Amino acid sequence: MMLWLLAVSTILLACAVIALGLKLRKRSTHLTYIHNKVSGILEQGTFERLLVFDSDAQVSRLLNDMNRLLEHAHLAKADYANQEKEMRHMLSNISHDLKTPLTVVLGYSETLLHSASLTDEERTVMTEKIQDKAQEVLRLMHSFFDLAKLESGDRRLELSRVNISELCRVKMLSFYELLTKLGLQVELDIPEQDVFVRANEEALDRVLDNLITNAMKYGADGKELGISILNREGEPFTVQVWDRGKGIPEQEHSRVFERMYTLEDSRNRMYQGSGLGLTITKRLVERMGGRIEVHSVPHQRTVFSFTLEEML
């Protein structure tokens, strides 16, 4: 009897050793596969997903974690590539925007230096044009550095209770002369009772300034511009700046807040822009805890809407 039990125990032990050996061999095969695949991914930069083995729970968890990591790395690389492309495009546009006014400045200054026959009136006109173009370059540089500060987080916005109703009225009044000159009809849909939001007054003033300027720039042909304040129950507090101009093609909606984005004919309009205004606007709204979006039906209604938290 003892011999029989010993024999059975020996057989069971042998089976266990064999099973363990097979498991270790299979795990070794799996680990070799993982090593080879990861080495290939690092060398070729393919971000190819790894095959998950269901037969080994621990290895399976490791492979799932590695696949999630690969997915994250792939998205990060794609995002970096997009940012790099956007940065090259931005630098190209900055170079263009700087080159144009500086060429004008150099041309007029050379004429002033070498043309003794110019009248006093001609010299005054050229000097004024040089001043205008120098201010244009300065505005562009200020916009570029403002955006850099916003994106780096160096600029801190102190939020407080701001009367958005009054700010909208005052801001529209400040544009009265330009709006009249363009023949634009203004519509204000602002509650009679003051509405307060949690915001930074200086930043909010700039947001409104950028959106109204943008509406005048691209919507002047619609001859109508307006500001609406919506405060519907159960919905975020919303400010809308709208016009009835030529609008923005649907395929361009996702790009309007990109750095240096401008419509093709924007440089020939009355107001030249750097293409940074809407990007700065978006960053400011986000820094105040809100969000901004655009909806446009050409020659019917183009609306820039942003939300902010209401403060009672």
Give the tens place of pLDDT for each residue, 167-221: 999 999 889 888 888 898 999 898 888 889 999 998 899 899 889 988 988 888 8
pLDDT band at 10 (very low <50, low <70, confident <90, very high): low
Q: Which two tokens stand for residue 151?
A: 């994106």
For residue 248, pLDDT over 80 is answered with: yes
For residue 7, pLDDT over 50 is answered with: no
pLDDT (0 to 100) of residue 307: 92
pLDDT band at 89 (very low <50, low <70, confident <90, very high): low
Q: In the chain, where do the E strands start and end?
A: 160-163, 185-189, 196-199, 224-230, 237-243, 291-297, 301-308
Q: Measured between alpha carbons, how far is 226 from 143 in angstroms, rounded to an integer?
A: 25
Q: Measured between alpha carbons, how far is 219 from 182 in angstroms, rounded to an integer?
A: 10
How far CA 302 is from CA of 35, 178, 243, in Å, comes to 55, 20, 5
Please write the tens of the pLDDT for every residue from 96-126.
677 778 888 888 888 888 888 888 898 898 8
In the predicted model, what is the mean pLDDT of residues 121-137? 87
**Closest Cα to residue 140, out of 298, 239, 277, 38?**
277
**Is residue 281 within 8 Å of 207, Cβ to Cβ?**
yes
The residue with tokens 């020939």 is 268
Please write the tens of the pLDDT for every residue from 16-33.
445 444 455 666 676 677
For the chain, domains (ranges, CATH) are 18-77 (no CATH), 86-152 (1.10.287.130), 162-308 (3.30.565.10)
Crossing angle for the helix pair 57-114 and 120-152, to the nearest 10 degrees: 170
pTM of the model: 0.62
Chain centre distance of CA 64: 32
pLDDT (0 to 100) of residue 90: 66
Q: Measured between alpha carbons, how far is 14 from 29 in angstroms, rounded to an integer?
A: 22
